[in-house]
Amino acid sequence: MAKLTLDDLRRLRDEKKKVMSQRSAEGKRAEIVIGMGTCGIAAGAKAVFDAFLDEMSKAGIEDVVIKQTGCMGLCFSEPTVEVLCDDMPHVVYGNVDDKTARRIVREHLAGKALVSDHIFDKPSTDIIKNAGK
Amino acid sequence: MHATLCDLMTDLIQNAVEADAAVIELIIREAEENLEFEVRDNGKGMNSETKAKATDPFYSDGRKHAHRRMGLGLPFLFQTAEAAAGEASIESEEGRGTVIRFCAKTRHVDLPPFGDFAGAAAMMLTLLPEGEMTIARTVNGAGYTLSRRELEDALGDLRSAGKLKLLKAYIASQEEDLRKAG
């Protein structure tokens, strides 16, 4: 790969902007928050971040916001990931590894179904029972 | 313990974010003999009593989690430095900020692997909700710098999946260029 410059980044941003403006007609917000306290980092939050980026790239998802926060107080279930989508219940997933992160992208973000076996903070029992469908 | 040096750095950046820093600098110098990095922030800093306890794994200031009695980030850093024939230090002043330094022998058998810097740096640059974060990375005298403000000027808000992917590719290309120079 040739060394990229800031001007290259501007050009790539403009190319992506054209694609994104065609896709963002829905106007729905989606945000992922990864726990990056000492506990999250030690449990593999970096690999989870990489998996989210890679799987979203494969799925053509550009506009989901990925944020990071400190310890959420759930050290025993790290890495933890909070997912906030406008049309879905807000959930915190626990014990998220590379594979689970990819499932969250495919099933939760793209498929609009909760990844029930990794939900730490249950939104409500009826939603879990129906796996978010 | 953290698996990589990048994890240790990320942990220090997260500490700076939690100390309400508006400006964070990460400086990394790799050479044949020594590997050093330091994190400088202008956050709330520590008084001498807190600083003295900061390397105790059974101490936490309890501000974020009231009943927590452990804080492992800095102890991990000191333990890693000592294991790899190096040292770590804390310089801090309440109300002014903190400087954390780490140094170890580059080829020491107990030094953890460096880790994937492109991904880690993309995370570190976007940890701070807003403000400036710079990274100055040098390997055997050759180097490059990253500035969150400059990158935001080029890309806009960095925290969407598409922008993060571009940011990671940009840093990977700097790393590749650095390795060629070395």
Give the residue extent of every domain in chain B.
Answer: 5-181
pLDDT tens-place string over residues A46-100? 999 999 999 999 998 888 999 998 888 788 888 999 999 988 888 999 999 999 9
**pLDDT tens-place values along chain B, 182 residues long:** 788 999 999 999 999 998 999 999 999 999 999 999 999 999 999 888 887 777 776 666 666 665 555 567 788 899 999 999 999 999 999 999 999 999 999 999 999 999 999 999 999 999 998 899 999 999 999 999 999 999 999 999 999 999 999 999 999 999 999 988 76
B175 vs A: CB within 8 A:
no
DSSP state of A75: G
- Tell me the chain A residues in contact with residue B156 when contact means C-beta distances shorter than 8 Å: 13
How many A/B residue pairs have CB atoms within 8 Å?
113
User: Could you give the ipTM of this predicted complex?
Assistant: 0.84
Any chain B CB within 8 A of the CB of A52? yes
Cβ atoms A41, B5 nearer than 8 A? no
Percent of chain A exceeding pLDDT 90 equals 53
Domain B5-181 has CATH 3.30.160: no
Asked whether A49 and B124 are in contact (CB, 8 A), the reply is: no
Contact assessment for residue B137 and residue A40, using Cβ atoms and an 8 Å cutoff: no
Residues of chain B with C-beta less than 8 angstroms from the C-beta of A63: 160-162
Other C-beta atoms closer than 10 Å to the C-beta of A13 total 16
DSSP state of A109: I
Residue range A28-129 in CATH 3.40.109.10: no
Cβ count within 10 A of residue B23: 16
Is residue B66 within 8 angstroms of chain A, CB to CB? no
**How far is C-alpha B121 from the chain's CA centre?**
9
Question: Could you tell me if B42 and B23 are in contact, meaning their C-beta atoms sit under 8 angstroms apart?
Answer: yes
Scanning B22-160, the segments in alpha helix (DSSP H) are: 48-53, 73-83, 117-125, 148-155
Please answer yes or no on whether A4 and B160 come within 8 Å at the CB atom: no
Q: What angle do CA B4, B7, B12 make, to 5 degrees?
A: 135
For chain B, say whether A33 makes contact (Cβ under 8 Å).
Answer: no
Environment class of residue B62 by beta-carbon count within 10 Å: exposed (0-12), middle (13-18) or buried (19+)?
exposed
Which pLDDT does position B165 carry in this prediction? 93
Q: What is the pTM of this model?
A: 0.87
Q: Are A64 and A90 spatial neighbours (Cβ–Cβ below 8 Å)?
A: no
Q: What is the rounded distance in angstroms from the CA atom of residue B31 to the CA atom of residue B156?
A: 34
- Cβ-nearest to A3 among B115, B168, B177: B177
